Amino acid sequence: MAESHSDCSVPTEESEKIIRKIVNQLRETGMRKTEALEELLQTMLDHHRPFLLSELGEMPGLKNRDQATIYRLVMKLKEAGVVRQLSLGERGNYFQINLSDHHHDYLLCRECGMVTEVPVECVLHEVEQKLAARHGWKDLTHSLAFQGICPECLAKP
Candidate residues 26, 37, 109, 115; the one interacting with Zn ion per rule CB under 5 A: 109
| SS3 call for 84 | strand
Pair 112, 153: CB distance under 8 Å: yes
Least separation, in Å, of the C-beta of 66 and Zn ion?
28
Residue 150 interacting with Zn ion (CB under 5 A) = yes
Residue 122 interacting with Zn ion (CB under 5 A) = yes
Q: Which residues neighbour 6 within 8 Å (Cβ) at sequence distance 6 or greater? A: 116, 117
Give the whole-angstrom CA distance, residue 21 versus residue 33. 12
Q: Which is nearer to Zn ion, 62 or 113 (CB)?
A: 113
Mark the segment that binds Zn ion (CB under 5 A) among 30-38, 53-61, 114-122, 128-136. 114-122
Least separation, in Å, of the C-beta of 150 and Zn ion?
3
Residue 47 interacting with Zn ion (CB under 5 A) = no
Pairing of strands 106-109, 145-148: parallel
Q: Which is nearer to Zn ion, 66 or 111 (CB)?
A: 111
| CB burial readout 70-94, b (16+ within 10 A) else e | beebbebbeeeebbbeeebeeeeeb
Give the footprint of Zn ion on this chain (CB under 5 A): 8, 48, 105, 109, 111-112, 122, 124, 150, 153
